[in-house]
Structure 1
Amino acid sequence: MDQYLVYGLTRSYFTRKITGYLDYTQRPWLLEPGINNHPAATEAGWNGGIPVVTSPAGEFLWDSTSIIEHLENSAPDDASVLPADPTLRFLAYLLDDFSDEWFYRPAVGSRWSYPANTITAGWQTTEELSSGMPVPAAFLREQVVETMQGSLAKLGVNDDNMDAWMSEVLVPWMQALESHLGSSGYLLGERPCIADFAVFGANAAHFIADPYCRDLADEHGPGVVAHTYRLLLPHRQSFGPWLQSEALPDSLIAVIAQAGRHYLPWVAQATVEGSASVELADGITADIASTPFLDTARGVMLARYVAARTPELDAILERAGVLRYFADHVDQATSVPDLVAAARPADNRPYAIN
């Protein structure tokens, strides 16, 4: 086998993050549609979060960020998504973490809360799952919708706050990205970093694909739509250099500052106290518990900060208004995992599906 086998779904946030990266680095892949039922991967230690990737050597890999870090060991320098500059690399991980751990909440919530999204994505997901589940499609779709809608409370999403997630979390994010990306850029310069693929996964699977969300993107972030299609068709693009860390544009600082509006205050508290409440809008809140996965991710993120910390980095984070969420929490730092040998973390489930 000279191709990567990707076990997941095309309407999956993290599956698309990985397939976008594989396309960018010119690694051939095939999709094996499915969720939760991969006995060989389970035997190897996988605990259920898609995608699972089988390498050409037969190795099982999982957890999207870990997979990309692992594959970076064999990526050519001109296609690397991890900048050599320590400050830029930390910012890439910061935005990767922000996208991965925050925006799947409105992504999943909006898919299963707004009828236009539910009808479209529900049938498309059912169509793929049907390839391995020989049951009537109408029955399977009903089970998919019921299961996913029953999981929304774990994400902090409910009927009372869903609209606020869209207007106060998603729309400002799209507006900030719109100002920064323009018609041809990427987060850290003229080439994509790991965080671009986190953003791509969210958009390709949800925010640009689901009808209600696409209407919002067309209104507030046409540059975000363009960014999605640039990464969907990397063979048509020309790529250039990274930004210089000593001269970051205000537009990037505004993107980083979005993490300080809701996510960083919540994760800083929730990973200490077990849960925290987020005020999305005046009087509209989301109560969200942390998970062992998030606790681990937060410890790794803080370890990355400790390793990369310089006066230059602190000045950038202070400029974005988020320094305290790192500098005041270094006691929670754990260690940065070594992913040269494999990408198989013990836990890759940010939340449990019912």
Structure 2
Amino acid sequence: MAMPKVLKVHGLDLSYFTGKLEGYLRGKQIPYELIEMDTGDFKRCGKATGVAQMPQVEWQNGQWLSDTTLIIEFLEQLKPETSVMPQNPTLRFVAQLLEDFGDEWLWRPALYYRWAHTQDARLMSHRLAEGMMRDVPLPFFMRRWAILNRQRFHFLWLDGVRKSTAKRVEAHYLETLDALEAVLKKQPFILGQRPTLADYGLYGGMYRHFFCDPTPARIMRNRAPAVHEWVARLWNTTLVDYDNTPFPTLLPNEITPLLKIVCTEFLPYMQANEEAIANERSKFEFTSKGIQFKLPTQRYRAWRFQRLRTRYQVLDTSSQHEINTCFPELGTALNKPVTSPIQARIADLPITTPSTMTSRTW
């Protein structure tokens, strides 16, 4: 299938997942045009793909791509040169695991810092009122009030952020930042000397939220200067420059603290969400270092978790042994067979299938 001359990426330049996709497209040197969404374009894209989300990629001849994870997988197949996928099965799995972690775990602290802190919320509500809501026929102060209250309701209150949990949500960012700093002060990228999917998977939140929003950006500059430098480096990275740099073949020792967070926080969280859905519950409880969260279930996250388990279970025995030797919690969490695949409703998970780009897969 031929690549369009220029991809039309519908999104926002302050969006978590738009930033993730833009970083990857820049690295692959795939030309694209960022079409800044307003509410009308958001609805038009949702009508075309069946999902109200960003970014959405307008491909060609009325075809669309949706979901950054599957878009990247598709583009890796279409343009395999300058790949971001490690060749070693163990490293490839870890890169995919860290993409899931970046997408589904860092989302909460990223949105928390943006909307719970006055300075950040004031700035971002102003930008969204001028940008995303520019086509809404209301006075500016009403657009700003509406977006501020909507975002706080959806991304704080409905996502389990309370006085009792706020400090723990902050700690999720700080602990991840410290773990990344330990890696990136030793090497330029997450898994070694060249960028991989692990970098782009963690990039969405680290760039568009933690690097750009005032409060977490100040923390990053002071607490984790190597992470701050990595964010800028990845935005300016051209993958072809690393063609002669071999992919890593061994997990760096420095990545241990980061994978400990994945094992002790992220995987139990994903497992609790999946179990609640399997038992037809709309909410679930999750405890993070003694702090209890009450959260709505997410069918998309359950789908991601089941896909991750399947990927682990099809690894060869030596790769599984290598992972389990270093991180036995991974094998414990991922060995359970996927006996009842989660079917995401169309409102939760409409993915435009890369191979056809006209049908959907779950």
- The two structures have a TM-score, normalised by structure 2, of 0.85
**Is 1:340 matched with 2:355?**
yes
Distance in 1, matches of 2:174 and 2:23, equals: 23
Secondary structure in 2 aligned to 1:188? Answer: coil
**Is 1:70 matched with 2:85?**
no
Question: 1:329 deviation in Å?
Answer: 4.7
- Give the aligned length: 341
1:266-305 to 2 correspondences below 5 Å:
266-274=269-277, 275-282=283-290, 284-305=291-312
Question: 1:264 deviation in Å?
Answer: 0.7
Secondary structure in 1 aligned to 2:84? Answer: coil
Aligned partner of 1:312 among 319, 330, 338 = 319
The question of whether the paired residues in 2 share the 8 Å contact of 1:317 and 1:323 is answered with: yes
The question of whether the paired residues in 2 share the 8 Å contact of 1:62 and 1:345 is answered with: no
Relative to 1, partners in 2 of residues 1:216 and 1:290: Cα closer, same or farther, differing over 3 Å? same
Relative to 1, partners in 2 of residues 1:344 and 1:49: Cα closer, same or farther, differing over 3 Å? farther
The question of whether the paired residues in 2 share the 8 Å contact of 1:11 and 1:206 is answered with: yes
Aligned to 1:328: 336
Distance in 2, matches of 1:131 and 1:184, equals: 43
Secondary structure in 1 aligned to 2:65? Answer: strand
Question: 1:258 deviation in Å?
Answer: 1.3
Distance in 2, matches of 1:55 and 1:333, equals: 29
**Is 1:33 matched with 2:36?**
yes
Paired amino acid for 1:67: I
- Listed one character per residue, the Cα deviations across residues 244-291 of structure 1 (whole Å, up to 9, x for unaligned) are 1xx322112332221122111121122012344233344x32122322
Paired amino acid for 2:194: R
Paired amino acid for 1:149: R
Aligned to 1:220: 223
Aligned to 2:161: 157
Can you give the 5+ residue segments of structure 2 that lack an aligned partner in the other structure? 278-282, 344-350
Aligned to 2:128: 125
Question: 1:59 deviation in Å?
Answer: 2.5
Paired amino acid for 1:62: S
Question: 1:294 deviation in Å?
Answer: 1.6
The question of whether the paired residues in 2 share the 8 Å contact of 1:46 and 1:344 is answered with: no
Aligned to 2:348: none
Relative to 1, partners in 2 of residues 1:238 and 1:221: Cα closer, same or farther, differing over 3 Å? farther
Aligned partner of 1:250 among 241, 250, 253 = 253
Aligned to 1:263: 266
The question of whether the paired residues in 2 share the 8 Å contact of 1:47 and 1:346 is answered with: no
Distance in 2, matches of 1:36 and 1:69, equals: 28
Can you give the 5+ residue segments of structure 1 that lack an aligned partner in the other structure? 348-354
Distance in 1, matches of 2:52 and 2:183, equals: 35
Aligned to 2:197: 194
Paired amino acid for 1:179: A
Distance in 2, matches of 1:108 and 1:327, equals: 32
Relative to 1, partners in 2 of residues 1:235 and 1:80: Cα closer, same or farther, differing over 3 Å? closer
Distance in 2, matches of 1:7 and 1:255, equals: 32
Distance in 2, matches of 1:36 and 1:62, equals: 18
Relative to 1, partners in 2 of residues 1:116 and 1:63: Cα closer, same or farther, differing over 3 Å? same
Identity, in percent, stands at 25
Question: 1:332 deviation in Å?
Answer: 5.5
The question of whether the paired residues in 2 share the 8 Å contact of 1:184 and 1:227 is answered with: no
Aligned to 1:51: 55
Question: 1:28 deviation in Å?
Answer: 1.5
Aligned partner of 2:104 among 85, 101, 104 = 101
Question: 1:189 deviation in Å?
Answer: 2.1
Secondary structure in 1 aligned to 2:307? Answer: helix
CA RMSD of aligned residues (A): 2.6
Distance in 2, matches of 1:135 and 1:4, equals: 32
Question: 1:134 deviation in Å?
Answer: 4.9
Secondary structure in 2 aligned to 1:155? Answer: coil
Paired amino acid for 1:278: F
More displaced, 115-124 or 129-138? 129-138
